[in-house]
Chain A
Amino acid sequence: MGTASKDKAEWSGHHHSHANTEDFVRRFLSERHSRWTASFVISLVILFALIVISSSVGYVHISPTDILILLFQRIPLVGQHLAGQNSVSSVDKTIFFQIRLPRIVGAIMVGSALAASGTVLQDIFSNALADPYITGVSSGAAFGAALSIVLGFGSYVFGLNSIIAVAFVGGILSVVASFFVAGRNSNSAMFLLAGVTVTFLNSAGVAFLTVLAGDRLPALVFWLMGGLNTVSWPVLTPTLPVIIFGLMGMLYFSRDLNALLFGEEQAKSLGVNTSRVKALLVALTALVTATSVSISGIIGFVGLIIPHMMRLIVGSDHRVLLPSSILVGASFLLLCDTLARTVALPMEIPVGVVTASVGGPFFIYLLRRQRRFIGS
């Protein structure tokens, strides 16, 4: 009886005083603002710390202070104060700028691209198991790389960077093929199936080329295992702008991604042009993923798990989820790559092994804290 009348009061709605509501609105907005800013700042700090640590460790150890000096010397205003400092040896300087920094930037790029793509694809297909590769990109890039390594495809056109270029083209063509296989008015499930089909075809191609590989086999296998050791400034110059553009494009659609949280029909009733938005977002993820795979091979786990992790920590609102996924994806891959090249010196562990080994247990811990099964 008591509960029933309480429910009655709730249903008919009780009216707060004017002062209370002003208060509530202000409190909600400022609390959310601080929460979002805090997560952003914390992620940036972690990323910066990792950049410094990663720069200093390796076969040659450079002290973190030296790293900081080298970094800040490049910044216009602050650099003036440090201009006099010549304490860092030129060997260390070369190692940092020519070898470590490009690799670090590469890890940040690829980590951001994969995490952002995973977040976007999971939410436009309402599928918790989606990762950046489901559109067929990675298998296409692998097929392209195999064609380049084994048969020399593209060396006339692209010269030294032919593997990267052909892999990129292969990735993009695969996604286009998925669109064609799925057909004009396909729904999410059909498109995903098309991606799976294209992936099977590409994998068959790679397998065939593996048989033909002969003495090119080690090169092919290493490419397939994935790694950031081939990243250098000439590689980054064309690819970095592409990834930045792609990430900015995805961030622009944060509001539409929020609308899609309740499904396509709901998003339409909120005024979103869903077919156009979905197509554009798939294209953007394809672009950044193809770029990433062509320079780093296929690195798993990041695109699948980082989005789920960030949803648990910052929530499903894409205005905070996407930037967080980007920063944490970057940090995570940077951490894993640093471990990959330092824990078993002088050998390198494939970075994909590290991403799974580090991320797996941590994610299990997060899941158990939530005690919730993540399923679609």
Chain B
Amino acid sequence: MVELRIQKLSFRYDSIQALEDVEFSVSSGDVVGILGPNGSGKTTLLKTINRTLRPTIGSIYIDGANIESMRPIDVARKVAVVPQEGHTNLNLTALEIVLLGRIPYLRPLQPESKADVEIARRAMESTGCFNLAPRRFDQLSGGEKRRVVLARALAQEPRLLLLDEPTMNLDVNNQIELMESIIRLSKEMKITVLSVFHDLNLAVRYSDNILLLKQGKVVALGTPEAVVTRENLRTVFGVEAEIRKHPITRLTVTVLSSLSSTTREASLQHSVASYDR
């Protein structure tokens, strides 16, 4: 069982305090959505957890172990990151891409074993891209590529999966398919998922808990109903929103207007005008 514990995490970059005193815990198998306006520190938080950045102060514990004291390769066997974009100079098949996820388990000149290929195959099946295995990766569509890189992350056999806007650039169908796969995998394989969202509705629909950030500080942590409230959206995003319960998507968040005075009037006028038509 993985427990992720963040303690007093701060990150300073030049004169910018990107994260300040962030503290929270996540239990194994939970899906946590990270929400916040641009510049609130969401991506910085992910980067400190996957060790791309070193926190200025604070500690991160996975399963009770401080990741600072772990070798990079041991962290790689626990934490997987799903990338957004890929390198274009690639002549590799989708399967070969997924096999890259086995790198943390191989010594420098050691070739993949049957077991490694089997793990890659299962990862591709669980994300529904096994039929793409022999195809060249850079010839796949956006949605197909996303499934393949997700499979690559799963091939690392992680306990914690980090995603930064996983549904970016995907059409509505692929968005739902991807998120449902992630939820299913998280429950089936007891993988803890931390995902940054810009889409409030997706975040609310697919997260067990939501972490709301503003200017590097934690504003709220709890269930979507508790965190995504009209009041919080006002103070954190500066928008007026309508929130309704929904039998399928749990909550529906409709952003009505921005709270900055000029745009507020304009958007209200715009809405009234469209109703009259």
A72 part of interface (Cβ distance < 8 Å): no
Give bound CA distance, A251 to B100, whole Å. 17
B15 part of interface (Cβ distance < 8 Å): no
Beta-carbon contact of B125 and A14 below 8 Å: yes
Please judge, given known A-B contacts A128-B89, A253-B108, A316-B91, whether A270 and B100 are in contact too, CB under 8 Å. Answer: yes
A75 part of interface (Cβ distance < 8 Å): no
Give bound CA distance, A258 to B173, whole Å. 32
Beta-carbon contact of A25 and B121 below 8 Å: yes
A interface bracket (residues with beta carbon within 8 Å of B): 35 or more
Contacts of A311 in B (CB 8 A): 89, 91
Contacts of A13 in B (CB 8 A): 125-128, 130
Min CB–CB distance A7 → chain B (angstroms): 7
Contacts of B127 in A (CB 8 A): 11, 13
Q: Which of A16, A316, A374 has the most CB of B within 10 A?
A: A316
Q: Taking CB as reference atom, which chain B residue is nearest A252?
A: B108
Beta-carbon contact of B88 and A375 below 8 Å: yes
Contacts of A317 in B (CB 8 A): 92, 96
Give bound CA distance, A30 to B136, whole Å. 19
Contacts of A256 in B (CB 8 A): 108
Min CB–CB distance A44 → chain B (angstroms): 19
Within 8 A of A (CB), among B79-107: 79-81, 83, 85-92, 95-96, 100-101, 103-104, 106
Min CB–CB distance A19 → chain B (angstroms): 13
Q: Taking CB as reference atom, which chain A residue is nearest B156?
A: A270
A15 part of interface (Cβ distance < 8 Å): yes
Give bound CA distance, A315 to B137, whole Å. 11
Please judge, given known A-B contacts A21-B121, A254-B108, A270-B156, whether A265 and B128 are in contact too, CB under 8 Å. Answer: no
Beta-carbon contact of A271 and B126 below 8 Å: no
Beta-carbon contact of A11 and B109 below 8 Å: no
Beta-carbon contact of A269 and B103 below 8 Å: no
Contacts of B76 in A (CB 8 A): 269-271
Give bound CA distance, A215 to B250, whole Å. 86
B72 interface neighbour in A15, A273, A375, Cβ under 8 Å: A273
Beta-carbon contact of B90 and A316 below 8 Å: yes
A255 part of interface (Cβ distance < 8 Å): yes
Beta-carbon contact of B81 and A265 below 8 Å: yes
B interface bracket (residues with beta carbon within 8 Å of A): 35 or more
Min CB–CB distance A134 → chain B (angstroms): 16
Beta-carbon contact of A29 and B112 below 8 Å: yes
Q: Taking CB as reference atom, which chain B residue is nearest A321?
A: B91
Beta-carbon contact of A374 and B108 below 8 Å: no
Q: Type the 1/0 row for A239-278, where 1 means its CB is closer than 8 Å to any CB of B.
A: 0000000000000111110110111011011111100000
Give bound CA distance, A144 to B3, whole Å. 58
Within 8 A of B (CB), among A128-182: 128
B83 interface neighbour in A262, A315, A316, Cβ under 8 Å: A262
Give bound CA distance, A7 to B177, whole Å. 9
Q: Type the 1/0 row for A1-40, where 1 means its CB is closer than 8 Å to any CB of B.
A: 0001001001111111000010011101100000000000
Beta-carbon contact of A29 and B87 below 8 Å: no
Within 8 A of A (CB), among B206-221: none
Beta-carbon contact of A261 and B128 below 8 Å: no
Beta-carbon contact of B51 and A374 below 8 Å: no
A126 part of interface (Cβ distance < 8 Å): yes
Within 8 A of A (CB), among B126-170: 126-131, 156
B118 part of interface (Cβ distance < 8 Å): yes
B67 part of interface (Cβ distance < 8 Å): no
Beta-carbon contact of B125 and A263 below 8 Å: no
Min CB–CB distance B155 → chain A (angstroms): 10
Beta-carbon contact of A25 and B104 below 8 Å: no
Contacts of A262 in B (CB 8 A): 83, 86-87, 100
Give bound CA distance, A253 to B101, whole Å. 17
Contacts of A285 in B (CB 8 A): none
Please judge, given known A-B contacts A258-B100, A262-B83, whether A269 and B50 are in contact too, CB under 8 Å. Answer: yes
Q: Type the 1/0 row for B60-75, where 1 means its CB is closer than 8 Å to any CB of A.
A: 0000000000011111
Beta-carbon contact of A255 and B50 below 8 Å: no
Beta-carbon contact of A269 and B121 below 8 Å: no
Contacts of B90 in A (CB 8 A): 261, 316
Contacts of A312 in B (CB 8 A): 91
Give bound CA distance, A226 to B177, whole Å. 58
B52 part of interface (Cβ distance < 8 Å): yes
Q: Type the 1/0 row for B111-131, where 1 means its CB is closer than 8 Å to any CB of A.
A: 110100110010001111111
Beta-carbon contact of B108 and A255 below 8 Å: yes
Contacts of B92 in A (CB 8 A): 261, 315-317
Give bound CA distance, A122 to B106, whole Å. 24
Beta-carbon contact of A259 and B103 below 8 Å: yes
B131 interface neighbour in A10, A24, A122, A253, Cβ under 8 Å: A10
19 CB contacts below 8 A, A to B, read: A7-B177, A11-B127, A11-B180, A16-B125, A29-B112, A126-B89, A254-B109, A255-B103, A262-B83, A265-B81, A265-B83, A269-B51, A269-B76, A271-B72, A271-B74, A271-B103, A316-B92, A319-B109, A376-B89
Interface residues, chain A, CB within 8 Å of chain B? 4, 7, 10-16, 21, 24-26, 28-29, 122-123, 126, 128, 252-256, 258-259, 261-263, 265-266, 268-273, 311-312, 315-317, 319, 374-376
Interface residues, chain B, CB within 8 Å of chain A? 47, 50-52, 71-77, 79-81, 83, 85-92, 95-96, 100-101, 103-104, 106, 108-109, 111-112, 114, 117-118, 121, 125-131, 156, 173, 177, 180-181, 184
